[in-house]
Structure 1
Amino acid sequence: MQSSSSLFPVALLSAERRGDLSEDVYRIKAANSPDASVELAVTRLGLADHSARGIPVILLHGSFANRRFWFSPKGAGLGAWLARAGFDVWIPEMRGHGVSPRNIDYRRNRVADYARYDLPVIGAFVREQSGHPAHWIGHSLGGISLAAALGGGYLQAEVAASVALFGSHVSRRHWPLRIPPVQWGVQTLLKRFEHLSGSRLKRGPEDEPVGIALEALRWQGLFGRFGEKGNDWLAGLGQVDLPLWVVAAEGDRQAPVWACHELYEQFGSQTRESLVLGRKHGFTEDFGHVEMLVSKAAQTEVWPLVGRWLNRQHVQSAAETPLELAEA
């Protein structure tokens, strides 16, 4: 089958109509990481009447999730809402999630792999297909992976126009894990497993490779830091100057407001905004970790704010584009 990209092998797995929406699923095999078996599924959502594609937006799911976090088979969800609003919506699924197959070294997958290898490839493919750098939105672990890619210097302005993080943090610590014997004991226990079951833990429909948990455990350690050997991602965020929007929720027990705000403060972005979803901030409820994006209240109160943010960044980006480039 002929590749859908000139950058690396990409196969179109399916092209279906979902009511008023079109759903095209691609599988990328860039072979750019040590595990050459990695293949990433990326879904493109648009209007079925083939209307002109709008602003490209990439939606990154969190842990124990897949593309269905953003849109259902019946056409519900923020991804579907954005597509109907005219945006060019792209939804990747991380290694072993959804229709992305499990790679050979699945159990050792880490955020470091997503940041260094996978997100840049996804960004390059979307840039190639759409002709524009995308606006990235990450929820929970998706936002953490996005912060890692930015702080590590792996995701550049050529493929990223702005970034929005929902319920993402890197600074909340469970203090017992900073005690070496406790950390070693937990580490030994985790190494017995290949993955953590989302269904058994009642966290979501997908499993997570144990490598993700071991990596987070290292961050939690006594001398742990958000980064990898020789690359301090947290410090690197100070060099990032992309437009930033950080959204937290009052009822979020996984990513407390204060922790999300600490991540916000690490960015060097000159254009940045933060928002807290809660009653004392004018919303009808104190949103939770998932409910901030997936709930009836989110549909009426949060999704329109996402659309306004994206449109505002697009307008500002167009205004800052040199005339000779805009006319090219």
Structure 2
Amino acid sequence: MQSSSNLFPVALISAERRGDLSEDVYRLKPGNSPDGTVELAVTRLGMADEPSVRGVPVILLHGSFSNRRFWYSPKGLGLGAYLARAGFDVWIPEMRGHGLSQRNQNYRKNRVADYARYDLPAIAAFVREQSGQVPHWIGHSLGGITLAAALGGQYLGEPAVASAAFFGTQVSRTYWPLKIPPVEWSGRFILKRFAQISGSRLKRGPEDEPIGLALEGMRWYGLFGRFGDAEKDWWAGLAEVQVPVLGVSATSDHQDPDWACRKLFDQIGSEHKQFICLGREQGFSDNFGHVEMLVSKAAQAEVWPLVQRWLTDPQAPLLAGKPDLATAV
């Protein structure tokens, strides 16, 4: 089968009409990481009746225990579908072993470091090739962490990123037991016996996560841990990021609290950045939660239009005339 890309082998594995939307699913085989079996599924959404009309590209990165359905339901609902109907060229990758992406040979060892260093640059290159434009990026939870790692590690830069939005994203929450070396060592010893963590068993989501992510997180939060890998300090690298940035937290997000999301936002060096907390005290109709900030009727009414406004002009104040709602730098 002829490749859909001149960069690396890409196959169009599905091309369907979903109501008023077109849904094309590509399978990418970048071959750029030590594990040559890595394949990534990327879904492209557009308007079915206007297949040749493509707007500004937007890449949506799902969080842990999740897949493309966080952004786009089988019934055609979600932020991804909303943005496609608003005229954007929407791309939804699924990380290794999630959704339509097959589990790679070294699945259990997958880490954010691999996603950030190998997978996101390959996705960026493919989207730029197909769209002819520099994409905007939106990450939720672990998707945002991966995006932050790619930016801080300088695996992605201005040629590949028009703007970056982080929803419920932080790496500063303290897990005090992990600061005690014997506890961390014991935890590592136990976790290494498993290949993955079950999202359904823990009632966290439909997907599993490789144990490599948990081990990597334990290192970040350990006594002398840092947000980075053996080669690069991603946290320090965030200070060099200059693309427009949007940070969003939620008042009732207990997994990634507001103060921790703000800390990551403050570390980013961009001159053009804005921060919003979604809560009643800030003027919103509800105290949003970790998932509800993007997947709820309230999010559809209040958050999705803000995202559209941000993507239209990342340097314009999102909540002009309401300084109590947004912090602009």
With the shorter chain as reference, the TM-score category is over 0.9
The whole-number CA distance in structure 1 between the counterparts of 2:301 and 2:277 is 16
**Identity between Structure 1 and Structure 2 (%):** 69
Q: Give the superposition deviation at 1:295.
A: 0.4
* Pairing 1:34-113 to 2, within 5 Å after superposition: 34-51=34-51, 52-113=53-114
**Aligned residue in 2 for 1:21:** 21
Q: Give the superposition deviation at 1:59.
A: 0.1
Q: Deviations over 1:153-191 (max 9, x none)?
A: 100211110000000001111011110011011111111
3-state SS of paired residue (1:158): coil
3-state SS of paired residue (1:228): coil
**Aligned residue in 1 for 2:327:** none
CA contact (8 A) 2:128 2:134 kept: yes
**Aligned residue in 1 for 2:31:** 31
3-state SS of paired residue (2:220): helix
**Aligned residue in 2 for 1:6:** 6
CA contact (8 A) 1:152 1:233 kept: yes
3-state SS of paired residue (2:41): strand
TM-score when normalising by structure 1: 0.95
Whose helix fraction is larger, Structure 1's or Structure 2's?
1
3-state SS of paired residue (1:23): strand
Q: Say if 2:240 is the partner of 1:239.
A: yes
**Aligned residue in 1 for 2:143:** 142
CA contact (8 A) 1:191 1:210 kept: yes
3-state SS of paired residue (2:23): strand
Q: Give the superposition deviation at 1:213.
A: 0.4
Unpaired runs of at least 5, structure 1 = 317-328
Structure 1 vs Structure 2 CA RMSD: 1.1
TM-score when normalising by structure 2: 0.95
CA contact (8 A) 2:272 2:315 kept: no
3-state SS of paired residue (2:247): strand
- Matched AA of 2:22: S
The whole-number CA distance in structure 2 between the counterparts of 1:315 and 1:274 is 13
CA contact (8 A) 1:55 1:314 kept: no
- Matched AA of 1:199: S
3-state SS of paired residue (1:107): helix
* Pairing 1:157-306 to 2, within 5 Å after superposition: 157-306=158-307
The whole-number CA distance in structure 2 between the counterparts of 1:125 and 1:266 is 29
- Matched AA of 1:80: A
Runs of at least 4 residues off by over 4 Å: none
Q: Give the superposition deviation at 1:314.
A: 8.6
CA contact (8 A) 1:46 1:87 kept: yes
- Matched AA of 2:148: A
3-state SS of paired residue (1:308): helix
CA contact (8 A) 2:128 2:135 kept: yes
CA contact (8 A) 1:107 1:209 kept: yes
CA contact (8 A) 1:133 1:160 kept: yes
3-state SS of paired residue (1:313): coil
Q: Deviations over 1:246-287 (max 9, x none)?
A: 000000001000000000011110100000000000111110
- Matched AA of 1:310: L
- Matched AA of 2:228: G
Q: Give the superposition deviation at 1:299.
A: 0.4
- Matched AA of 1:106: Y
The whole-number CA distance in structure 1 between the counterparts of 2:255 and 2:299 is 18
* Change beyond 3 A, Cα 1:29–1:315: farther
Q: Give the superposition deviation at 1:313.
A: 2.8
The whole-number CA distance in structure 1 between the counterparts of 2:269 and 2:157 is 14
- Matched AA of 2:27: R
CA contact (8 A) 2:200 2:207 kept: yes
